[in-house]
């Protein structure tokens, strides 16, 4: 094993089991229950993300929760799309009838060129097809499936015959407010229409902007709220997280002149502050387990496996941080993101097995996690629980 390997998955699992008293088989989650599996943008590892079909597949897989990102059309309909810029995940560029809509807009301080949902009615957006955003994933469904509305997703959950949580994210809420299309009141109204109005409802509302969650709290909502915590990247020479706009701080903080970075949120003081308006945190998984590469004689991160690329395959995991325990002490659940199957996204410790990564995080006590491959996550959880005698 290379000299830079600081820990192994097995060691992390054993340490976590010892720390939580494995002889009594307790689960180290906040409530002692099994962690939940959240289908990130639907079954996005198999089908174009946030389409009707992707959400239907996630429900079929058995996901405990399905996650739509929430943005608004020009006529005020809430739809599921990760970016206001439709160029990133739809075939809008292939629609000559919309060529004149292409423009440049400021989205959270970043100038973007493309086609923006706020310039389209729902009827127009329904003519577009979703596209896979990862070249390693199936491409044969590109353009075939339509963008889902939040109401359609609610209806799918209701018709499923089982309890599935809806996990919407208010996406770019400041941007939408600037466009005269605020998200929060409309989202709460849709949820109320479904009969979901209090903490016991199968709903988690998430946002990177604290102001969005605080606004909904100010309107009297007691639904479960989740503060997302981002970073830009990992410095593979050190394993430390890096911060660069627009992933350095919440955009509402940036506009308010608050110079703190997302890293301030994972301190004891930051967690205590989050607890005043939210029930849990959704950190990038590298806040819990980071990775580090090997540095060669030239001072550069080495291409350990010799494939000509530098990615997670060339790294090893570092010892886990105390974030899960710290958040639990603050009374917050922890749902890290995003877990994926592609080998380039898996540190060398996992030996190409995505289930090994899930099991490490389950052993560390996460209360749930976001996955593009809910079926893999569910299989890993079943194995983990069986290994724990649950």
- In degrees and rounded to multiples of 5, residue 333 shows phi and psi of -80, 165
Q: Which of the four pLDDT bands, split at 50, 70 and 90, describes residue 24?
A: low
- Return the domain boundaries, the chain: 9-83+148-387
d(CA 26, CA 388): 8
- How does strand 233-235 pair with strand 78-80? unpaired
Rounded to an integer, what is the distance from CA 92 to the centroid of its chain? 25
d(CA 101, CA 165): 36
Q: Render pLDDT for 340-368 as a digit per residue (tens, 0 to 9).
A: 999 999 999 999 999 999 999 999 999 99
The predicted model gives 222-230 an average pLDDT of 98
The predicted model gives 238-265 an average pLDDT of 97
Q: Render pLDDT for 50-75 as a digit per residue (tens, 0 to 9).
A: 999 999 999 999 999 999 999 999 99
Q: Which of the four pLDDT bands, split at 50, 70 and 90, describes residue 26?
A: confident
Q: Is 299's pLDDT higher than 70?
A: yes
Q: Is 9's pLDDT higher than 80?
A: no
Taking CA atoms, 226 is separated from 13, 94, 304, 327, in Å, by 27, 37, 37, 12
The predicted model gives 84-100 an average pLDDT of 98
d(CA 252, CA 248): 12
- Cβ atoms of residues 377 and 43 within 8 Å: no
The predicted model gives 15-21 an average pLDDT of 39
The predicted model gives 260-277 an average pLDDT of 98
Q: What percent of the chain has pLDDT over 90?
A: 93
- Write down the pLDDT at residue 23: 41
- Cβ atoms of residues 9 and 360 within 8 Å: yes
- Domain 9-83+148-387: CATH superfamily is Phosphatidylinositol (PI) phosphodiesterase (3.20.20.190)
- Cβ atoms of residues 333 and 280 within 8 Å: yes
- Write down the pLDDT at residue 2: 41
- Write down the pLDDT at residue 94: 97
- How does strand 36-40 pair with strand 368-371? parallel
* pTM score, whole prediction: 0.92
- Cβ atoms of residues 58 and 51 within 8 Å: no
Q: Is 185's pLDDT higher than 60?
A: yes
């Amino acid at each position: 094993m290379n000299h830079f390997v600081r820990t192994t998955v097995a060691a992390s699992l054993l340490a976590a089991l010892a720390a939580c008293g494995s002889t009594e088989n307790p689960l180290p989650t906040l409530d002692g229950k099994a962690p939940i599996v959240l289908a990130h943008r639907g079954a996005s590892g198999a089908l174009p993300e946030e389409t009707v079909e992707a959400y239907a597949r996630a429900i079929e897989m058995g996901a405990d929760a399905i996650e739509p990102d929430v943005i608004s059309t020009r006529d005020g309909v809430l739809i599921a799309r990760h970016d206001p810029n439709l160029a990133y995940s739809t075939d809008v560029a292939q629609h000559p009838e919309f060529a004149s809509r292409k423009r440049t807009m400021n989205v959270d301080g970043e100038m973007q060129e493309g086609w923006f949902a706020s310039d389209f009615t729902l009827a127009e957006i329904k003519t577009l097809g979703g596209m896979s955003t990862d070249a390693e994933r199936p491409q044969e469904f590109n353009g075939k499936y339509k963008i889902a509305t939040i109401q359609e997703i609610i209806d799918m959950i209701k018709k499923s015959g089982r309890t599935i949580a809806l996990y919407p994210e208010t996406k770019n809420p400041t941007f939408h407010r600037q466009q005269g299309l605020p998200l929060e009141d409309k989202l709460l109204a849709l949820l109320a229409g479904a009969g979901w109005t209090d903490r016991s409802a199968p709903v988690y509302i998430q946002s990177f902007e604290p102001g969005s969650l605080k606004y909904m709290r100010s309107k009297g909502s007691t639904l479960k709220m989740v503060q997302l915590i981002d970073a830009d990247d990992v410095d593979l020479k050190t394993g430390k997280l890096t911060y660069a706009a627009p992933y350095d701080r919440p955009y509402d903080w940036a506009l308010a002149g608050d110079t703190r970075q997302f890293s301030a949120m994972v301190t004891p003081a930051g967690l205590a502050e989050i607890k005043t308006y939210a029930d849990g945190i959704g950190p990038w998984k590298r806040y819990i387990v980071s990775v580090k590469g090997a540095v060669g004689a030239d001072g550069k991160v080495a291409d350990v496996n010799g494939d000509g690329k530098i990615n997670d395959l060339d790294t090893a995991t570092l010892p886990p941080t105390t974030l899960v325990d710290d958040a639990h002490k603050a009374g917050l659940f922890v749902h890290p993101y995003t877990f994926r199957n592609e080998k380039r996204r898996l540190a060398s410790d996992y030996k190409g097995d995505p289930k090994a990564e899930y099991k490490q995080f389950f052993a560390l006590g996460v209360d749930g996690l976001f996955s593009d491959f809910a079926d893999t996550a569910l299989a890993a959880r079943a194995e983990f629980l069986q290994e724990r005698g649950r």
